[in-house]
């Protein structure tokens, strides 16, 4: 049973904002662009809320749907531009448009001095539009449209300040790395069509796929799962395709917040949750997802510890937190993954916006070594960022605690002890790097330049209000998913169950014990951060010097960029330059084309000598021809 | 009455002289005369064979050839005259307007 609802409205508003800002933005002035740019996302959020309320009033398992127009029809293969709004989509739409709205409002303050505000809001609107398309799509192909859309927007926004060639380079890097993942996604999608069409089913519609998943052989399902996961590693910044995300930090900070919190990077997690029925039939692919998630989670957290750039720490923390989400979906706890996705959206958006507020106040400074003691100058930013920090480090009762705890306990009870261990250690590392960030930025002695110190100021109202709203969400956001048995229990998981199925633990375990474990590891990390960065700040430098090799390894991010450069980029450039360009294009293709011309020219040059212009030569040839013909017939007659 | 092969032989000899004249001589007037010689060699063959086979077809064709040859002579001489007026020469080697 499916009810209709004008879901197209959710997409229409951002689309209108996009068109308005694109064509009129430069003419109507800043105030109108700010209002329209943020307003349309807010409107999408309101429609989303109405749809959500209607969904709640319907029996569990039903969904709103709306077919906009038929798209592709080829024989029995038929794809519509159709939207579907079930519990999973509801969560995503509300998070994307809700957090998106706050980020847009914040941007009106952050971009107040930028000349290119119209272009900025055009891209932002397109970004949200793409992400909403991605989560509302009722088939894989339309989802892919949104998938590509967010990739494009990330490129446009990362290289927003395109006059800086390094920024433009980072934008291209994001785009190309994503393209590698997208190739996996496309192959996965085609494999689905191939596998099902051989059994007579032509569809990419999620509901239809779910119904026919039994027709796909397990081995093929594994292949599809792995290929789609490659797409997810690109979009959601997992090993090995995470390298674009830290470099994405050069974009304006609201963009980082939008990419990292509400949109884009969550796409991979969402995709796996959306196709949970596919992953459920292939334990091998699930195992891979969980393992990659766990390793990424730990790996990124270790890098985050040493980074001096406030935004880079947050970038690696995003990669790490996404690792948690992949652990969740990898062990089959899809609702836990989406839960963490939601709470992460709140506190990570808040962290980025706070970092943006700090950078704004510091006139563009991002190096934490040049901060310190900012708490007094920026009280609102400091308090809200502390809330976000407590949320991400999973201190109860902040939002992150419930989701991260659920993931760790689900990983443990599903028997993935190694992944669980990685997650636990990472919880400690999270405490370390987040508290380090806070101590270095807001507390201790000030290392701010004399000149910059003069300007340090709290951000305007447009920026602090979204911070406060997100701070509230970072506190209460986790309360929808309390551990079972307390108050309303895990209402969030119950709400999502019809859409993503239910988690089946292999064995029971004391939730309290597991929580105590993760909280205590976190506290150890916090304690280390306190000793090293607040009580005796010199100690960190001494330690770094003691284990210089390790410190250098982490500071240089395991030299992954350099390794990729040598192993991937350079060979590719070499092949492009010497094999493809010189060898194939220049010598082979150009050679054939030029050769054809040269052959004709040389041939003409040779045979033109026949044309002497002397009538008698022509007559001679004519005679010879006549003799030859006569001889031929004579020969035939005489023979 | 001489057998037709005599006439044919004479015709072939005259034709070859004509061909040689066309190919080897440089003066356009001579080349032109050689062409006439070739035409008339053919006429001789026609007439001889016409008589040998007791048919008038060959003689009829000869009349056509003679009329066409007369017209061609008029046009050809006109061309030669105009070439001479333009280039002050009737040497075929020096007339190479058709060269590339």
pLDDT in tens, A570-624: 888 889 888 888 888 888 899 999 999 999 999 988 888 877 878 888 889 999 9
SS3 B72: helix
Q: What is the pLDDT of residue A339?
A: 92
Q: A199: which 2 tokens?
A: 């059994």
Do A196 and A203 meet the contact criterion of CB atoms below 8 Å apart?
yes
The kind and range of the H/E element at A3 are strand A2-4
Chain A residues close to B98, C-beta within 8 Å = 611, 613, 615
Q: What is the pLDDT of residue A502?
A: 81
B99: nearest CB among A612, A616, A619: A612
pLDDT value at A67 more than 50: yes
Tell me, yes or no, whether B76 lies in a domain.
yes
Measured CA to CA, the distance from residue A496 to residue A504 in angstroms comes to 14
Chain B residues close to A614, C-beta within 8 Å = 92-93, 96, 99
**Do A612 and B92 count as a contact with CB atoms less than 8 A apart?**
no
Tell me, yes or no, whether B39 lies in a domain.
yes
Q: Which residue do the tokens 């969740």 mark?
A: A328
CA distance B3 to chain A (A): 23
Chain A residues close to B23, C-beta within 8 Å = 616, 619-620, 623
Tell me, yes or no, whether B25 lies in a domain.
yes
A623 compared with A533, residue with greater pLDDT: A623
What is the arithmetic mean of pLDDT over A397-420? Answer: 88
Q: What is the pLDDT of residue A89?
A: 92
Q: What is the pTM of this model?
A: 0.80
Do A381 and A358 meet the contact criterion of CB atoms below 8 Å apart?
yes
A612: nearest CB among B23, B24, B96: B96
What is the arithmetic mean of pLDDT over A139-148? Answer: 93
**Cβ of A620 under 8 Å from any chain B Cβ?**
yes
B92: nearest CB among A608, A611, A615: A615
A614: nearest CB among B22, B24, B93: B93
Task: Tell me the percentage of chain A whose pLDDT exceeds 70.
Answer: 99
Q: What is the pLDDT of residue A632?
A: 95
Give the phi and the psi of residue A529 in degrees, each rounded to 5.
-60, -40
**Do A611 and B99 count as a contact with CB atoms less than 8 A apart?**
yes
B23: nearest CB among A608, A613, A620: A620
Chain B residues close to A623, C-beta within 8 Å = 19, 23
CA distance A636 to chain B (A): 22
Locate all alpha helices (DSSP H) within chain B, ordered by sequence: 4-24, 28-53, 57-87
pLDDT value at A486 more than 90: no
Q: What is the pLDDT of residue B100?
A: 56
A1 confidence band (pLDDT: 50, 70, 90) = very low
Domain count, chain B: 1
What is the arithmetic mean of pLDDT over B27-56? Answer: 92
A550 confidence band (pLDDT: 50, 70, 90) = confident
Q: What is the pLDDT of residue A2?
A: 55
What is the arithmetic mean of pLDDT over B71-79? Answer: 92
Q: What is the pLDDT of residue A149?
A: 92
A147 compared with A460, residue with greater pLDDT: A147
Tell me, yes or no, whether B72 lies in a domain.
yes
pLDDT value at A248 more than 50: yes
pLDDT value at B97 more than 80: no
Q: What is the pLDDT of residue B63?
A: 94
Q: What is the mean pLDDT of chain B?
A: 90
Measured CA to CA, the distance from residue A239 to residue A560 in angstroms comes to 10
Measured CA to CA, the distance from residue A496 to residue A500 in angstroms comes to 6
Q: Which residue do the tokens 């398309």 mark?
A: A133
b/e string for A593-615 if b means 16 or more Cβ within 10 A? eeeeeeeeeeeeeeeeeeeeebb
Per-residue pLDDT reduced to its tens digit, A102-141:
999 999 988 888 888 899 999 999 999 999 999 999 999 9
Residue A24, CA distances (Å) to A16, A28, A33, A38, B38 in order: 11, 6, 9, 15, 89
Q: A137: which 2 tokens?
A: 């799509």
Chain A residues close to B19, C-beta within 8 Å = 623
**Cβ of B38 under 8 Å from any chain A Cβ?**
no
Q: What is the pLDDT of residue B6?
A: 92
Q: What is the mean pLDDT of chain A?
A: 88
pLDDT value at B18 more than 80: yes
Query: 3-state DSSP helix/strand/coil percent for chain A, to nearest 5?
Result: 75, 5, 20
Least confidently predicted of A123-127, A457-461, A507-511 = A507-511
**Cβ of A450 under 8 Å from any chain B Cβ?**
no
Task: Tell me the percentage of chain A whose pLDDT exceeds 90.
Answer: 41
A510 compared with A11, residue with greater pLDDT: A11
**Cβ of B98 under 8 Å from any chain A Cβ?**
yes
pLDDT value at A514 more than 60: yes
Measured CA to CA, the distance from residue A341 to residue A262 in angstroms comes to 9
Interface with A, mutate which of B92, B94, B97 (most A CBs under 10 A): B92
A250 confidence band (pLDDT: 50, 70, 90) = confident
Q: Where are the domains of chain A?
A: 265-279+303-451+460-555, 562-638
Measured CA to CA, the distance from residue A355 to residue A161 in angstroms comes to 19
pLDDT value at B98 more than 70: no
pLDDT value at A487 more than 80: no
Q: What is the pLDDT of residue A596?
A: 93
A38 confidence band (pLDDT: 50, 70, 90) = very high
Tell me, yes or no, whether B98 lies in a domain.
no
What is the arithmetic mean of pLDDT over A461-483? Answer: 87
| Among candidate residues A245, A231, A344, A233, the one with its CA nearest the CA of residue A291 | A233
Domain CATH number, residue B22: 1.10.287.3510
Per-residue pLDDT reduced to its tens digit, A257-315:
888 776 788 999 999 999 999 998 999 999 999 999 999 999 999 999 888 889 999 99
Q: Note down the domain range covering B46.
A: 4-91
Chain A residues close to B96, C-beta within 8 Å = 612-614
**Do B95 and A615 count as a contact with CB atoms less than 8 A apart?**
yes
Per-residue pLDDT reduced to its tens digit, A303-332:
998 888 899 999 999 999 999 999 999 998
- What is the biggest distance separating any 2 CA atoms in chain B, rounded to whole angstroms? 54
Chain A residues close to B31, C-beta within 8 Å = 615-616
What is the arithmetic mean of pLDDT over A473-484? Answer: 85
**Cβ of A614 under 8 Å from any chain B Cβ?**
yes
Q: What is the pLDDT of residue A3?
A: 63
pLDDT value at A508 more than 60: yes
Residue A625, CA distances (Å) to A622, A628, B36 in order: 5, 5, 21
**Cβ of B19 under 8 Å from any chain A Cβ?**
yes
A519: Cβ–Cβ under 8 A, 6 or more apart, which residues?
A: A394, A395, A396, A401
Give the phi and the psi of residue A15 in degrees, each rounded to 5.
-65, -40
Query: SS3 sequence, A371-406?
Result: CCCCCCCCHHHHHHHHHHHHHHCCCCCCHHHHHHHH
Chain B residues close to A615, C-beta within 8 Å = 31, 92, 95, 98
Q: What is the pLDDT of residue A569?
A: 84
Peptide bond into A15 cis (omega under 30): no
Residue A397, CA distances (Å) to A437, B30, B92 in order: 21, 122, 113
A614: nearest CB among B24, B96, B100: B96
- Bridge partner list, A205: A139
Measured CA to CA, the distance from residue A118 to residue A285 in angstroms comes to 43
DSSP sequence for A488-555 = T-BHHHHHHHHHH-----SS---HHHHHHHHHHHHHHHHHHHHIIIII-THHHHHHHHHTHHHHHHHH
């Amino acid at each position: 049973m499916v009810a209709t609802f004008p879901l197209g409205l959710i997409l229409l508003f951002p689309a209108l904002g996009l068109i308005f800002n694109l064509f009129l933005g430069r003419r109507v002035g800043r105030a109108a662009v700010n209002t329209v740019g943020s307003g349309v996302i807010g409107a999408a959020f309101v429609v989303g809320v109405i749809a959500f309320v209607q969904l709640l009033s319907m029996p569990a398992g039903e969904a709103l749907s709306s077919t906009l127009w038929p798209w592709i029809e080829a024989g029995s293969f038929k794809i519509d531009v159709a939207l579907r709004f079930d519990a999973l989509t509801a969560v995503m739409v509300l998070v994307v448009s809700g957090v998106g709205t706050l980020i847009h409002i914040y941007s009106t303050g952050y971009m107040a001095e930028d000349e290119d505000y119209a272009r900025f809001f055009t891209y932002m609107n397109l970004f949200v539009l793409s992400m909403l398309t991605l989560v509302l799509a009722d088939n894989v192909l339309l989802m892919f449209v949104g998938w590509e859309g967010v990739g494009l927007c990330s490129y446009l926004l990362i290289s927003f300040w395109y006059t800086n060639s390094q920024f433009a380079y980072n934008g291209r890097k994001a785009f190309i790395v994503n393209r590698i993942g997208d190739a996996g996604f496309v192959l996965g999608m085609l494999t689905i069509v191939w596998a099902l069409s051989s059994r007579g089913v032509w569809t990419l519609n999620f509901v239809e796929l779910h119904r026919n998943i039994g027709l796909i052989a397990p081995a093929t399902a594994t292949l599809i799962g792995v290929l789609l996961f490659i797409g997810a590693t690109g979009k959601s910044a997992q090993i090995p395709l995470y390298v674009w995300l830290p470099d994405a930090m050069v974009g304006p900070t609201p963009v980082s917040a939008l990419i990292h919190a509400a949109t884009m990077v969550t796409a991979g997690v969402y995709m796996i949750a959306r196709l949970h029925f596919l992953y459920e039939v292939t334990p091998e692919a699930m195992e891979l997802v969980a393992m990659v998630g766990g390793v990424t989670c730990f790996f990124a957290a270790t890098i985050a510890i040493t980074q001096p750039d406030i935004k880079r720490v947050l970038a690696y923390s995003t990669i790490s937190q996404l690792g948690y989400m992949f652990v969740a979906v990898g062990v089959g706890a899809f609702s836990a993954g989406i839960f963490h996705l939601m709470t992460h959206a709140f506190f990570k958006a808040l962290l980025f916006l706070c970092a943006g507020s700090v950078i704004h106040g510091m006139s563009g400074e991002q190096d934490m070594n040049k901060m310190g003691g900012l708490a007094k100058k920026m009280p609102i930013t400091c308090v809200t960022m502390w809330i976000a920090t407590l949320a991400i480090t999973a201190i109860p009762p902040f939002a992150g605690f419930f989701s991260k705890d659920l993931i760790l306990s689900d990983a443990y009870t599903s028997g993935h002890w190694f992944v669980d261990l990685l997650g636990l250690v990472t919880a400690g590392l999270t405490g370390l790097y987040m508290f380090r960030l806070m101590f270095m930025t807001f507390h201790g002695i000030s290392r701010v330049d004399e000149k910059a110190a003069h300007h340090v100021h709290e951000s305007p109202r447009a920026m602090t209000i979204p911070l406060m709203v997100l701070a509230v969400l970072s506190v209460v956001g986790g309360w929808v998913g309390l551990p079972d048995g307390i108050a309303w229990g895990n209402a969030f998981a119950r709400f999502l169950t019809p859409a993503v199925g239910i988690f089946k633990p292999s064995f029971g375990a004391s939730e309290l014990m597991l929580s105590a474990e993760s909280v205590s590891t976190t506290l150890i990390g916090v304690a280390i951060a306190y000793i090293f960065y607040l009580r005796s700040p010199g100690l960190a430098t001494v330690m770094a010097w003691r284990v210089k090799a390790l410190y250098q390894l982490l500071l240089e991010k395991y030299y992954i960029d350099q390794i990729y450069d040598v192993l991937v980029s350079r060979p590719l450039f070499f092949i492009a330059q010497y094999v493809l360009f010189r060898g194939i294009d220049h010598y082979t293709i150009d050679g054939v084309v030029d050769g054809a011309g040269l052959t004709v020219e040389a041939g003409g040059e040779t045979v033109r000598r026949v044309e002497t212009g002397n009538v008698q030569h022509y007559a001679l040839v004519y005679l010879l021809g006549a003799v030859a013909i006569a001889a031929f017939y004579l020969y035939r007659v005489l023979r | 009455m001489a057998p037709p092969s005599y006439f044919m032989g004479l015709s072939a000899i005259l034709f070859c002289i004509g061909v040689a004249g066309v190919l080897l001589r440089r003066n356009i007037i001579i080349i032109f005369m050689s062409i006439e010689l070739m035409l008339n060699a053919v006429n001789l063959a026609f007439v001889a064979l016409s008589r040998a086979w007791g048919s008038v077809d060959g003689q009829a064709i000869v009349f056509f050839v003679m009329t066409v040859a007369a017209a061609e002579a008029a046009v050809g001489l006109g061309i030669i005259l105009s070439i001479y007026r333009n280039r002050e020469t009737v040497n075929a080697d020096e007339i190479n307007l058709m060269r590339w």
